Chains A and B, each alone.
Chain A
C-alpha cells in the first residue's frame, strides 16, 4: 500500500460505494415479491362482485349482505328519512357531502353503504343514535340517515361501495 494516495482512495471509495448501492438495490428488489405476496391474492380479488335482490326489503328496513368479507348495509329509506337526510345544512357536517351524491338519482329510497365504521372498523348498529341512522358501539360514532358522520371519533362518512341497479329490484355490488 506504499503508493496509496488520496486519488486512489477516492477511486476506491467510489467503487466500494457503487458496490454497496448495487447490493442494496438488489436486496430491496429481492424483498419486493415477498412483501407483495402478503397483499390480497388473486382469488380474493376475484370474489369482488355480488348481486342482491332487494325486492323483499320493506321501507324502513335494512338488509346486511357480505361483500369482500365486509357487511354492506342496504337500507330502504322512508320518505321521512330521505327528507331528513336532504335537509341537513352541509356546513354542519364533518365530512361534507350532499345526500344526492350518496344515492343513485331516482332511487333515493335506497342507501347502500359499507357497514364499517370509518373509525376503527366496527359494524355500526342501525336505527340508533341521535340522528337515527347508525351508532357504532365501539367508540360511539353516530351517523345520520344518509350514513354521514355526525358525532364521535370517526373521520369520514360510511363509504358507498361501487354498485349499480341491474333492474328495479336487483343491485350489483362491486
Chain B
C-alpha cells in the first residue's frame, strides 16, 4: 500500500484527471468547406477528437479487439435480421413454414438466415472474450465501474434478445425453451403466476407470446445500440485499460486510434469473419439443436431440453440447485454478482499479469465456466448433479471469497513504471 502514491498507482480520480490532460497533436483542418460545415455541425471535429487527438494506450494486445468485433457482430445481426423480418411471419400457424420458405424459396434466404443464426453465436463468442479480457486485466476496477456496469446491461439485453430470437422459428426447442425460461418467473412468490400469464398473454406459450417476442426481438437490438453508445461515452471518459493495468500518464504512453487501431481492428475483423465463414458455409447447424427442425408441439416435451450453448453455464447453475426458487435466484445471481465486481476485487494491483496466484484462480475460473457449460448440456442426473454443485460453488467463491481475500496473502510481481516502459520491455 506504501506505493499507492507512486506514479503507477494513481487514485481513480487522479487517473481520470491525468487522462483528460493528455491530448495528442493533430494537424488543423484544411478545407474551408469542412471548416464551414464543422462550425455549424461539429461532427468532423468530433471524429477528429476521437480518432486523432484522443489517447489510446500503445501497449494494447489483441485481447482489446473483441469490443469492436462485438460491435460489428451486432451490426451483422441487425442487418441480416432486417431482411429476415421481411419474410418471416410471427404466427404460430405460419412461423415454422415461413422460416422454411426463407430457406427454400427466398433468394439467398438460406444465406441470410444462416448468417443470422451463426451470427448470434459469433456475437456471444465476442462478448465472452471481451468480458474475459476485462476480468483478467481488471478493466472493471475504478474508475471504470460505470463502463463495466453498462457492459453488463448490454450482456443482459443481448441474452434476452437472443432468447426471444430463438423462439421465433417455432420449433420444438423454441417452444419448450420459451416455456422453461418464462416459467422461471413463476418461482416468484405470490405474483409469479400472474407475471407469467402476463408475459405469455395467455395460459401457455402461444400466439400472443410469439407475436410479442417477434416485436421485442426487432426492437431490442436498437436499444442495445443505444446502450453501446453509452458504453463508448463512458470509455471515452475513462480511457482504455491496458495489459499492464498502469494508467496512461503522458503522451509517451499513447497513440491515436487512427491509423493504429483502425488497422488493427481490421485485422481482428478478418480473423473474426474467417471463423464466422467457416461455420456459416461448412457447419451452419453445428451450434444449433436438431430438435428445432421439428415443429412446436405443446403436447410433447422433447426428451432432453437444452438452451443454446451460450446459456449453458447459467442453465447448469439453475439445475444444480434442488429448489425451484433457489435455482432461479442462483442463476440470476451469477450475473448480478458481476455488478459488484469493482468492489469485490481488493488487490492493489489491477492487471492479472502481475498477480501469480490470481492467475491460477482466474484460469481455473475460465475452465470451470466452460465445464459448467458442458454440464448444462448433460442430463441432470447422477454425478453430473454433484459436479454442477461444486462448479457452481467455485463460480461464486471466485467472486465472493477469492477476489476479496486473496490480496491479503498474495505477493504481487513488480508493476512497470509506465505503459511506455511496459511497451519497451515487450518489443
Known contacts A69-B203, A123-B299, A153-B323, A38 near B212 by CB under 8 Å: yes
Chain B 289-302 interface 0/1 with A at a Cβ cutoff of 8 Å (1 = within): 00000000011111
Residues 50-109 (chain A) with a chain B CB within 8 angstroms? 64, 66, 68-71
Q: Are B304 and A38 in contact (CB under 8 A)?
A: no
Q: Are A153 and B327 in contact (CB under 8 A)?
A: yes
Contacts of A64 in B (CB 8 A): 299
- The stretch of A19-27, A137-145, A164-172 in contact with B is A137-145
Total count of chain B residues near the partner, CB < 8 A: 36
Q: Are A138 and B299 in contact (CB under 8 A)?
A: no
Q: Are A68 and B202 in contact (CB under 8 A)?
A: yes
Q: How far is the CA of A152 from the CA of B327 in the complex (A)?
A: 12
Q: How far is the CA of A154 from the CA of B202 in the complex (A)?
A: 22
Q: Is B183 an interface residue (CB 8 A)?
A: yes
User: Closest Cβ of chain B: how far from A2's Cβ, in Å?
Assistant: 38
User: Closest Cβ of chain B: how far from A46's Cβ, in Å?
Assistant: 12
Q: Is B184 an interface residue (CB 8 A)?
A: yes
Q: Are A123 and B301 in contact (CB under 8 A)?
A: yes
Of B206, B302, B322, which one neighbours A153 at CB under 8 angstroms?
A: B322
Q: How far is the CA of A152 from the CA of B321 in the complex (A)?
A: 10
- Of chain B, the residue at the smallest CB distance from A48 is B203
Q: Are A154 and B299 in contact (CB under 8 A)?
A: no
- Of chain A, the residue at the smallest CB distance from B326 is A153
Known contacts A38-B201, A120-B183, A121-B183, A71 near B299 by CB under 8 Å: yes
Q: Are B202 and A40 in contact (CB under 8 A)?
A: yes
Q: Is B319 an interface residue (CB 8 A)?
A: yes
Q: How far is the CA of A73 from the CA of B201 in the complex (A)?
A: 23
Q: Are B304 and A137 in contact (CB under 8 A)?
A: yes
Q: Are B208 and A41 in contact (CB under 8 A)?
A: yes
User: Closest Cβ of chain A: how far from B306's Cβ, in Å?
Assistant: 10
Q: Is A39 an interface residue (CB 8 A)?
A: yes
Q: Is A30 an interface residue (CB 8 A)?
A: no
Q: How far is the CA of A121 from the CA of B302 in the complex (A)?
A: 12
Known contacts A44-B203, A120-B184, A122-B180, A138 near B212 by CB under 8 Å: no
Contacts of A155 in B (CB 8 A): 323-325
Q: Are B203 and A39 in contact (CB under 8 A)?
A: no
- Of chain A, the residue at the smallest CB distance from B325 is A155
A-B complex: 5 closest residue pairs judged by Cβ atoms: A69-B204, A68-B203, A121-B183, A122-B301, A120-B183
